Amino acid sequence: MENKKDAVNIGVTLSTQLISASLTMIAVLGAFATFIIDKREVGLLFYALIGISFLTFIVSIFLGGKGIDKARKSGFDGKWNLDDTKKSFNWQALLCGMGLLFFILSIFIGKEKSDTQLDRLSKTEKDIYAIQLIDSLRQVEVKQLKEEIKLLNGQLEEMKVTIKTDTLPKTEIGKTEKK
Q: What is the predicted pLDDT for the residue at 111? A: 83
What are the backbone dihedrals phi and psi of residue 119, each rounded to the nearest 5 degrees, phi first? -65, -45
Q: Are 22 and 97 in contact (CB under 8 A)?
A: no
What length is written for the chain? 179
* 123 and 69 both lie in a single domain: no
What's the total number of domains in the chain? 2
**In terms of residue numbers, what domain contains 143?**
118-173
Long-range contacts of 174-177 (CB under 8 A, 24+ apart): none
- Residue 68 within a domain: yes
What are the backbone dihedrals phi and psi of residue 80, each rounded to the nearest 5 degrees, phi first? 50, 55
- Residue 178 within a domain: no
**56 DSSP 8-state letter:** H
Beta bridge partners of 40: 112
* 44 and 124 both lie in a single domain: no
Q: What is the predicted pLDDT for the residue at 149? A: 93
Q: What is the pLDDT along the chain (179 residues), one digit of tens a residue?
A: 567 777 777 778 888 999 999 999 999 999 999 988 888 888 899 999 999 999 999 999 999 988 888 888 777 676 666 676 778 888 999 999 999 999 999 988 888 877 777 778 888 999 999 999 999 999 999 999 999 999 998 888 888 877 777 665 655 555 555 55
- Residue 179 within a domain: no
Q: What is the predicted pLDDT for the residue at 80? A: 64
pTM of the predicted protein model: 0.61
3-state secondary structure 26-47: HHHHHHHHHHHHHHEECCHHHH
Q: Are 46 and 104 in contact (CB under 8 A)?
A: no
Q: What is the predicted pLDDT for the residue at 89? A: 85
Helix (H, G, I), strand (E, B) or coil at 55: helix
